[in-house]
């Protein structure tokens, strides 16, 4: 019983850690996708959480039933056509671009604070990532089991400080006075949820197949999605009361933490770097698993190939690539989600029968 409970918490941590990247931890993603829509943004976050549970469980069930081991396997199963191949290609390209940008960002961050050359900073990220990546899924679980509780504690601490020292700012009356800067919350919510689920599938698929227990995955994904919803709501609350100043910052949460001193800001920066590290591991892990299944390249060899490609790209400034890929990736993620739902309900009887066995 205790072992199963730990497994459930580990699945929840991996789910949260995979969705939460530096963008969410810094407050930038929440600002763009939710905060700018005003008080209704909290509804968007709640819908997003429900969406994570619903689609996450569908992906997990399909993965366990067909014994899938990578996002490539999943895409080929639900969409064995040209659209599926294109979705797989764009997903791989997007994840490599993401891994490259994180390496560049890590190098820049270490350079800024310690004066170490950017290339050395990127290599430091690679070396630490390799230590966990070579441990396969266990390594992925280990880093998220440490990073996610640290993130939750930090955001919760800042939120508590707001409730203690800024009560008037977080009153409902004050929250409702901020007018929305954008329209189209529904589209923003669906795009954000779809984008995260497709990225998350690279980890969710092999994790489901390895754990095999449906109940563990159901509870783990549900707890992870609920935790993520609460986390995003806390970040959104603090960003909302700091409008319009947050729109001037690349890391809006640093402005939020600013009033509580340098120590809180320093802790937040460490958390953001750890989330960059966690995303790097998740991206490389996902691509390597797909290389293993698609091209029969051994997982550990795939890790070195992906990192060997990502490092030079990170040094030549390929940052615009991910921005250009984002709209295509967003549209493809919606197509992918739709195909997942259709596929699941088309074969629902098989999944129910296997669940009863």
Task: Identify whether the C-beta of residue 280 lies closer than 8 Å to the C-beta of residue 99.
Answer: yes
Fold of 2-336: Hydantoin permease (1.10.4160)
**CB neighbour list of residue 142: distance below 8 Å, 6 or more residues apart:** 132, 135
Q: CA 30, CA 238: separation in Å to the nearest integer? A: 11
pLDDT higher than 80, residue 156 = yes
| Residue located via tokens 């994570």 | 52
Mean pLDDT of 315-336: 70
**What tens digit of pLDDT does each residue of 269-279 get?**
888 888 888 88
Dihedral (CA of 34, 39, 42, 47) sign = negative
Q: What is the DSSP string of 308-351?
A: HHHHHHHHTT-HHHHHHHHHHHHHHHHHHHHHHHHHHHHSHHHH
- Of 294, 296, 311, 316, the C-alpha closest to 129 is 311
Asked if the model's pLDDT at residue 22 lies above 70, the reply is: no
Predicted pLDDT of residue 251: 78
Q: What is the pLDDT of residue 322?
A: 57
- Above 90 in pLDDT, residue 13? yes
Is 319's pLDDT higher than 60? no
The pLDDT of residue 133 is above 80: yes
Report the pLDDT value the prediction gives residue 328, as an integer from 0 to 100: 73
- Helix or strand or coil: residue 156? helix
Q: Percent of the chain, pLDDT > 90?
A: 29
Q: Is the pLDDT of residue 19 over 80?
A: yes
Helical ranges in the chain per DSSP H: 2-19, 22-25, 28-33, 41-66, 71-78, 82-114, 118-133, 136-165, 172-175, 185-211, 214-240, 252-258, 262-295, 299-315, 319-346, 348-356
Instruction: Tell whether pTM > 0.75.
Output: yes
Residue 11 has a pLDDT of 92
pLDDT of residue 204: 92
b/e per residue, 289-308, with b = 16+ CB within 10 A?
Answer: bbbbbeeeeebeebbeebbe
215-261 residue pLDDT tens? 899 999 999 999 999 999 999 998 888 888 888 877 788 888 888 88
CA atoms of 133 and 139, how far apart (whole Å): 6
């Amino acid at each position: 019983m205790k072992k199963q409970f730990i497994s459930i918490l580990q699945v929840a941590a991996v789910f949260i850690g995979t969705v939460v990247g530096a963008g969410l931890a810094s407050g930038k993603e929440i600002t763009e996708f939710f905060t700018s829509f005003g008080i209704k943004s909290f509804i968007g976050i709640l819908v997003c959480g429900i969406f994570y549970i619903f689609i996450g469980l569908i992906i997990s069930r399909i993965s366990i039933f067909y014994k899938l081991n990578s996002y490539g396997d999943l895409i080929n199963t639900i969409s064995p056509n040209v659209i599926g191949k294109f979705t797989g290609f764009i997903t791989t390209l997007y994840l490599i671009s993401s891994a490259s940008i994180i390496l560049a960002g890590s190098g820049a961050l270490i350079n800024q604070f310690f004066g170490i050359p950017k290339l050395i900073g990127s290599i430091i990220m690679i070396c630490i990532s390799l230590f966990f990546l070579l441990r396969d899924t266990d390594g992925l679980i280990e880093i998220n089991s440490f990073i996610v509780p640290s993130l939750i504690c930090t955001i919760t601490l800042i939120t508590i400080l707001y409730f203690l020292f800024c009560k008037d700012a977080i009153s409902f009356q004050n929250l409702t006075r901020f007018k929305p800067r954008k329209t189209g919350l529904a589209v923003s919510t669906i795009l954000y949820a779809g984008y995260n689920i497709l990225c998350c599938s690279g980890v969710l698929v092999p994790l489901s197949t390895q754990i095999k227990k449906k109940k563990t995955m159901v509870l783990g994904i549900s707890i992870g999605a609920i935790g993520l919803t609460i986390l995003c709501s806390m970040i959104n609350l603090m960003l909302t009361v700091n409008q319009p100043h947050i729109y001037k910052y690349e890391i809006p949460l640093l402005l939020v933490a600013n009033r509580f001193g340098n120590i809180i800001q320093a802790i937040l920066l460490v958390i953001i770097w750890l989330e960059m590290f966690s995303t790097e591991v998740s991206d490389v892990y996902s691509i390597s698993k797909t290389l293993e299944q698609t091209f029969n390249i051994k997982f550990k060899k795939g890790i070195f190939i992906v990192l060997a490609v990502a490092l030079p790209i990170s040094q030549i400034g390929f940052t615009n690539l991910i921005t250009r890929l984002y709209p295509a990736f967003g549209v493809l993620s919606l197509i992918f989600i739709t195909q997942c739902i259709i596929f699941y309900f088309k074969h629902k009887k098989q999944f129910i029968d296997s669940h009863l066995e």
